[in-house]
A and B are shown apart, each in its own frame.
Chain A
Amino acid sequence: MQEMNRTSFLLFIRNSLFVLFMVTASGSLFSCGEDPEPLTTNSVLKGKAYLAYYDETGYDGIRVLASGPYGQTSTLTDTYGHFTFSGLGNGTYFLEYSKDGCGTLRQYGIRLFGYDTVWAQEVQLFKIPGPDYTMPSFISASSETIDGTAYIIIETSLPEASYSYLPTMLFMDVTSEVSWKSYEISYPGDLDHYNDIYINLESLSFKSGTRVYVIGYICNPLEYSSGYLDTYLGISLYSTLDPSKYSNVVSFIMP
């Protein structure tokens, strides 16, 4: 009996050691490829984000998401639009700014070397036009001088007697393939005169005699001069533009 107990014990030890060997060897084999460890964890990232229109709730509550080599973390802006991330590890980050009802922006290429405080550029968020807006058809585009000012006038399919706000961004190019992704000039196209859209000719830098093609999209025209550059994709974007709501293409000859 004692001999049998001793044999069982030795078998147990042998089997345990075998399992331990397997675990250790597996750990050595697969230990590379773990998540990276930061060299430093004391970088600070500060910035400011605010709404392009005054909201009765103030400037706070914009969500800022920091994405980097060790994962993601988020915070909210304070009443003045300020935000701070502390204790970040070294590496390159991007920031994503968002708020309900507003367009989302991404800011790439923020580098933290360690022991540094970095200021991210100020960011403006714009309100997305409501879902009830639809893009009318463009009927024609022609040039006209009114009170000494030269315009390109785009006639739309909206009823002539109506006066309504239409948040629109126009995109112009010398090819009929013009779109929000491929254009030469953008222009805020909200209705100024009932059913027509007026474009001040001084804003256009096309050569005289050039045929120019125009398309419109539902978009907050306040973004006009602040449409942001997605530096990763290398294209200008309008965060409030709805690519599914667009007009047909019309053209005119540049006077």
Chain B
Amino acid sequence: MKFRKIHLAAAAVFLICGLSGGCREEVLLPDLEGDLVGYVYTFDEFANLMEDHGDVLVSAYGVGRVYHTHTDVNGRFEYKNLRSGTYELHLEKPGFGTLKQLGIQHLGGEPTILGLNFNGTYHTAFFLYQMSTAQIAYLTVEADTISGVFDFTGEQPEGLYLLMYLSNEPDFSRQEAKYVIYQYLRYSNGRYQNALQYWQFPFETGEEIYCRACVITLRGSISDFGNQRVYGVDTYFDYDSYLTVYPNAGDESDQFSFIYPE
């Protein structure tokens, strides 16, 4: 009698555990997992390559969950046994602009490798830059030359880049900018200056052009892995504002204007 009660109790326990606990976890299809590996390079605010690319926080936003990892000193990061799906990556480090990348497809199985190619053609990696601390004190355009004065917290660079937003309407928003250019200025005679490439501008001769600018420096590419070229992924498109985001762009200057010359 006692043995029969034990029999029944054991059967009931097993059945309850099996039905309620066995497959409680939500099953997504496809139910693959795999490692995801990527590479990050870090730069100072003037796009000089840093030696230590470690401690960049990489967050992967997936279906209902967020995963975190950090880069090692070589800039490599890895997620182990990440569930398959499409992810949004956020790469951030204190003092650096936060880079986002959407649409990272991870199928699962063997490792997904972001950016690097087996045969050395067109490698890409994430480039993270320190936020610009340079302040624009004064900017002007006279004839075909743009010139400016800047305040730096650290060493003064030989040259710098400006991201210039242009419009023929005053007080335009960034979305309303008619043209955006990436302009290099070289230090000479107490100020930074260079020629403007007017032939690219979609404006009429004699038009008053309004401009706002911010200091930004992008590297483009570096050499690594034994003289192989690695191109930087350093911007992203924001689908809410429909703007290309430059994570390390400095503060915008006040609006100024100039006349589009002949």
Q: Which residues of A contact B (CB under 8 A)?
A: 18, 21-22, 24-32, 36, 38-39, 67-70, 90-94, 107-109, 111-113, 121-123, 183, 185-186, 227-229, 231-232, 234-236
The dominant DSSP class at the A interface is: mixed
A109 and B228 form a contact (CB under 8 A): no
Cβ-closest chain A residue relative to B120:
A229
| B204 partner residues in chain A, CB cutoff 8 A | none
Question: Contact: A92 with B18, CB < 8 Å?
Answer: no
- Which chain B residues lie closer than 8 Å to A122 at the CB level? 119
Return the 10 tightest CB-CB contacts between A and B, nearest first: A69-B109, A28-B18, A91-B109, A109-B113, A25-B18, A25-B14, A231-B116, A29-B18, A92-B109, A28-B22
Using a CB-CB cutoff of 8 Å, which residues 137-184 of chain B contact chain A? none
Which residues of B sit under 8 angstroms from A107, Cβ to Cβ?
118
Contact B32–A28 (Cβ < 8 Å)? no
B18 touches A24 (CB 8 A): yes
Q: Which of A26, A68, A70, A236 contacts B14 (CB 8 A)?
A: A26
Residues of chain A with a CB closer than 8 A to B118's CB: 107-109, 121, 123, 228-229, 231
Is B39 engaged at the interface, CB distance under 8 Å to the other chain? yes
Chain A contacts of B117 at CB under 8 A? 121, 229, 231
Q: Does B111 contact A (CB under 8 A)?
A: yes
Task: Give min CB distance, B37 to chain A, whole Å.
Answer: 6
18 additional contacts (CB under 8 A) given A91-B84, A91-B107, A183-B226 = A18-B11, A21-B11, A25-B18, A36-B31, A38-B30, A69-B32, A69-B110, A90-B107, A91-B34, A91-B110, A92-B112, A111-B107, A123-B119, A231-B37, A231-B118, A234-B225, A236-B225, A236-B226
Closest Cβ neighbor of A15 among chain B residues = B7
Identify the closest chain A residue to B84 (Cβ). Answer: A91
Cα A26 to Cα B21 with chains together (Å): 11
Measured between beta carbons, the chain B residues less than 8 angstroms from A231 are 37, 113, 116-118
Q: Which residues of B contact A18 (CB under 8 A)?
A: 7, 11
Query: What residues of A have a CB within 8 angstroms of the CB of B225 in the complex?
Result: 229, 234-236
CB distance from A36 to the nearest CB of B (A): 5
Contact of A108 with B110 in the complex, beta carbons under 8 Å = yes
A234 near B18 with CB under 8 A, answer no
B37 touches A29 (CB 8 A): no
Bound together, the chains give a CA A113 to CA B21 distance in angstroms of: 32
For chain B, the bracket of interface size reads 35 or more
Does B240 make an interface contact (CB < 8 A)? Answer: no
Bitwise interface map of B from 13 to 44 toward A, beta carbon under 8 Å scored 1, else 0:
01101110111010101111010010100000
A227-B226 contact given A25-B18, A91-B109, A92-B108, CB 8 Å threshold: yes
Q: Does B48 contact A (CB under 8 A)?
A: no
By CB atoms of chain A within 10 A, which of B14, B30, B74, B226 has the most? B226
In angstroms, how far is the closest chain B Cβ from the Cβ of A119? 12
Given contacts A39-B29, A39-B30, contact A229 B116 (CB under 8 A): yes
Q: How far is the CA of A136 from the CA of B135 in the complex (A)?
A: 58
Interface contact B226-A90, CB-CB below 8 Å: no
Expressed in whole angstroms, the minimum distance between the Cβ of B112 and any Cβ of chain A is 5
Contact A232 to B37, CB < 8 A, known contacts A24-B15, A24-B18, A29-B22: yes
CA A90 to CA B29, docked complex, whole Å: 12
Give A26 to B225 CA distance when docked, in angstroms: 52
Q: Give the CA-CA distance A106 to B49 in the complex, in Å.
A: 29
Knowing A18-B11, A25-B19, the reply to whether A67 touches B110 (Cβ < 8 A) is: yes
A81 to chain B, nearest CB (A): 15
A16 CA to B164 CA in the complex, in Å? 82
Given contacts A21-B14, A28-B22, contact A234 B111 (CB under 8 A): no
A121 to B118, CA, bound (A): 8
Of A27, A38, A112, A113, the contact of B18 (CB 8 Å cutoff):
A27
B69 CB → nearest A CB, Å: 15
Looking across the interface, which residue of chain A has its beta carbon closest to that of B23? A32
Distance in angstroms from A232 CB to nearest chain B CB is 5
